[in-house]
Copies of this chain bind each other. A is one copy, B any other.
Amino acid sequence: MTREHPDGGPGTSYPVVPVGRVESPLHDRDAAPRQGDEDAPEAWLAFGAAYGPALRDLAPGDDVLLFTWLDRADRTRLTVHPRGDASRAEQGVFSTRSPDRPNPIGLHRVRILAIDADGSRLHVSGLEALDGTPVLDVKPVLGDIADR
């Protein structure tokens, strides 16, 4: 099957641009919890000043989906031992949540605990992302979309 797409074929890529950064006590991938529900610490999201308008309707108490770029991931891995456990058979990364995958986009459900006075920093609940991780996007949670 031959198909043509206006944006090009194989080899095309698109640049993602960090809109902010995670500030977290987590610095070491090997010590970080693997998911946000496993005792992950609170963190701050520090957004670039330009993104104030995009953030302005978020409020403390909101549950949101946070998208990050897992910049310390291995993008060449297509299979992994689940949860890094070498005793388990390797599994295709698309059926795991391993950070190691072709496009290491992190997806995290977090609650906004507080927003600082100028609106550019969000304090959020349990986040397993490492300090310095680029933030790409914030969206309302799935299932709460009827009026968005």
Q: A54-B79, A92-B54, A97-B139 are in contact. Are A3 and B23 (CB under 8 A)?
A: yes
* Candidate in A48, A67, A92, A147 with the most chain B CB atoms within 10 angstroms: A92
Q: Which 4 pairs across A and B sit closest by C-beta, in order of nearness?
A: A13-B15, A94-B138, A53-B78, A57-B95
A interface residues, tally (CB under 8 Å) = 61
Would you call B92 and A56 a contact (CB within 8 A)? Answer: yes
**Which one, B21, B23, B62, B67, contacts A103 given CB within 8 A?**
B67
Would you call A103 and B3 a contact (CB within 8 A)? Answer: no
Q: Which residues of B contact A82 (CB under 8 A)?
A: 147-148
Would you call A17 and B92 a contact (CB within 8 A)? Answer: no
